[in-house]
Amino acid sequence: MKKLISLALVLALVLSMTAVAFAESKTTISVSLASEPDTLDPALNSAVDGATMIVHLFAGLATWAQDADGKFVIVPDLAVELPEGVVNEDGTVTYTYTLKDGLVWSDGKALSAKDFEFAWKRAASAELGADYGYMFEIVKGYGEELAVAAKDDKTLEVTINNAVSYWNELLAFPTYFPVREDVVANEAWATEPATYVGNGPYTMTGWEHNSVITLTKNANYHAADTVKMEEIKAFLSDDANNMLANFKNGTWQLIDDVPVSEIATLKTEYPNSFVIAGQLGTYYVNFNVNKNLLPATSTLSGVELEKANAEVRKALGLLLDRNYIVTDIAQGGQTPANTFVASGLTDADGKEFYQNAGHNEGYSGYYDVSEDAYVANFESALEVLKKYYTYDEATGQFSDFPAFEYLYNTSAGHKAIAEYLQSVLAGVGISANLVNQEWATFLNTRKEGQYEVARNGWIGDYNDPISFLDMWTSGSGNNDVQYGKGAHAELAMYNLDLTPFGLDVKVENGTWTETYDVLIKHVKGTTDDAARFAMMHLAEDMLMETGALMPIYYYTDLYMIDENVEGFFSIPLGYKFFKYAVVNK
């Protein structure tokens, strides 16, 4: 009898353990977005993978959601509602937000409107030097005293310079999330679970650096009852082959990269798991505007040197066959790009913004990306380069183009494009030496201008062309090209005429700060849509004329997700949301 009872207890224990394991498999999702993030501080992050982590660890006044029709919409999160602003006599607009009752941080301490006031002023401050500090330019007092104030523990008031259509989207952007002053006083607060305090649907419970970050459902989140996924394990990898192997064996339920050599097969073998989604972004190459590409024998200097470099950069861009890149290399439904501002963004006339760019007859954009145009583009590029370099007509090679380094971050896809670029340039006698760095190092190398030519990509921060244009002001932390920085800051060679818009602004031979920065300020300061969009086209004209931005293709979002996962969604801005997901197996 005792033996039978023991067997029954053992059987019951086994069944109980099986049930627990089954429950865990349904409430834990393992994903791989990228390698070690550069930072998980909401104010300092500037990468999409970091933002995806942060939107699970923090909550702002607003958030992204899907409505009943599957449309992506902005809804209140910590705010009771997202009210209309009150237009003041001077044209500024004041918003007053009421926080929901009982809001607390992940450590149980009360969250108040004062935390928002502190966080916004911190993120916008010159002392912090955040890449995205300029996202507060729209707020009155930016650069001095930001017009945001906690009226009491539950009431936050902010005044912006003028009405903008994307204000609510900014409220859902990580840079606008709250942080607590006593927490961030420790500069290393965002590097370890023990010091990481957030207020979102998850808390960080583990961070094995360069291995895995573990997020666990936050019982203190105000809407914890709506969060279905109990745990997210974010495995840190930049090896697409490793990602795919772990997806195929069922270890990981989502991967945000795949080997380019496997794309054709994955489309066939995993039709329900391999996803190609629309995305508001552009893959491009950027040049450091302070690096000289002319031969050592050139006697040009100052403005004339930069004009020559700009002409050379534009010519190099015409040597690339973008149709080959998207069809034979990228293979993910991308389309060739001939503008920096991505496709999918609407212009004032209802067309897409890129369709009105470039001012050319017969095609949209700044150069013709049709397959038939490639030979003519290539030949015109050679003619430009012959002005500055020695060319051997017999061999089709330039002999004195200085070798340069092409920097990219570790990824099979980035490497394949880098090798194609290297091959095309080598075909005309130009040496590009390829250098790859891991993600976090790469971001900072590019940001600091410690490179010559680098791969890049930009996904819009919100659904407006300005999010592709304001990043290139001289003070922006996302200005990897180094416009208006270093030697380029002194070059007086740019023109700006805003008198057609009724503005008393006309600059001839001004610096980047005196022209481009001023233009972006006026873009953000007008409520006349027609004028605003026309000025944004002027801004892109200025960018493309420098040749320092070489668009390659308009992004699509390629990822793989287990077909048993339900409730997951990804928005065109690149963020992936797991809090409502369930793994049905």
Rounded Cα distance, 321 and 223, in Å: 50
Residues 52, 156, single domain; the answer is: yes
Rounded Cα distance, 464 and 466, in Å: 5
Is residue 298 in some structural domain? Answer: yes
Residues 319, 261, single domain; the answer is: no
Is residue 16 in some structural domain? Answer: no
Enter the tokens of residue 237.
Answer: 């990898």
Task: Determine the angle formed by the axes of helices 240-248 and 412-426, rounding to 10 degrees.
Answer: 140
Please state, rounded to an integer, the average pLDDT across all residues of the chain: 94
CA-CA-CA-CA torsion sign (165, 168, 174, 180):
positive
Enter the tokens of residue 430.
Answer: 């130009």
DSSP at 272: T
Q: What is the mean pLDDT of residues 458-483?
A: 97
Report the Cα–Cα distance between both ends of the chain, in Å, rounded.
38
Range of the domain at 373: 277-555
Q: Looking at residue 142, what is its pLDDT?
A: 96
Beta bridge partners of 73: 65
Residues 568, 548, single domain; the answer is: no
Is residue 2 in some structural domain? Answer: no
Residues 456, 520, single domain; the answer is: yes
Rounded Cα distance, 247 and 242, in Å: 9
Q: What is the mean pLDDT of residues 72-91?
A: 97
pLDDT over 70 (residue 10): no
Q: What is the mean pLDDT of residues 418-437?
A: 98
Residues 295, 228, single domain; the answer is: no
Is residue 286 in some structural domain? Answer: yes
Residues 492, 568, single domain; the answer is: no
Residues 513, 566, single domain; the answer is: no
Q: Among residues 52, 32, 30, 34, which one has the least CA distance to residue 42? A: 52
pLDDT over 90 (residue 127): yes
Provide the CATH number for the domain around residue 229: 3.40.190.10
Q: Which helix (H) or strand (E) holds 93?
A: strand 93-98
pLDDT over 50 (residue 16): no
Provide the CATH number for the domain around residue 450: 3.10.105.10
User: Residue 15's Cα: distance from chain center in Å?
Assistant: 47
What does the pLDDT look like over 178-237, one tens digit per residue?
999 999 999 999 999 999 999 999 999 999 999 999 999 999 999 999 999 999 999 999
> Which pLDDT band, with edges at 50, 70 and 90, does 361 fall under?
confident
Residues 345, 244, single domain; the answer is: no
Is residue 3 in some structural domain? Answer: no
Q: What is the mean pLDDT of residues 481-490?
A: 98
Rounded Cα distance, 147 and 157, in Å: 8
Is residue 317 in some structural domain? Answer: yes
Q: Looking at residue 11, what is its pLDDT?
A: 34
pTM above 0.85, yes or no: yes
Tell me whether strands 391-392 and 72-76 are parallel, antiparallel or unpaired.
Answer: unpaired
Q: What is the mean pLDDT of residues 348-365?
A: 93
- The helix/strand/coil state of 388 is coil
Residues 6+ apart with CB under 8 A from 188: 195
pLDDT over 50 (residue 170): yes
> Which pLDDT band, with edges at 50, 70 and 90, does 2 fall under?
very low
Residues 394, 377, single domain; the answer is: yes
For residue 310, CA distances in Å to 336, 426, 463 come to 22, 21, 30
- DSSP letter for each residue of 290-351: TS--S-TT----HHHHHHHHHHHHHHHHHTS-HHHIIIIII-SS-EE-SSSSPTT-B-TTSS
Is residue 528 in some structural domain? Answer: yes
Is residue 21 in some structural domain? Answer: no
Q: Looking at residue 360, what is its pLDDT?
A: 86
Residue type, 426: A
pLDDT over 70 (residue 4): no
Q: How many CA atoms lie within 13 A of 59 on its CB side?
A: 27
Residues 497, 568, single domain; the answer is: no
What does the pLDDT look like over 17-42, one tens digit per residue?
433 444 444 689 999 999 999 999 99
Instruction: Report percent pLDDT > 70 for the chain.
Output: 96
Q: What is the mean pLDDT of residues 86-105?
A: 97
pLDDT over 70 (residue 7): no
Q: Which helix (H) or strand (E) holds 281?
A: strand 274-287
Q: Looking at residue 359, what is its pLDDT?
A: 84
Enter the tokens of residue 555.
Answer: 């992004």
Contact 507, 496 (CB under 8 A): yes
How many other CB atoms sit within 10 Å of the CB of residue 226?
A: 10
Residues 268, 288, single domain; the answer is: no
pLDDT over 90 (residue 109): yes
What does the pLDDT look like over 323-340, one tens digit per residue?
999 999 999 999 999 999
Domain count, the chain: 2
Residues 268, 334, single domain; the answer is: no
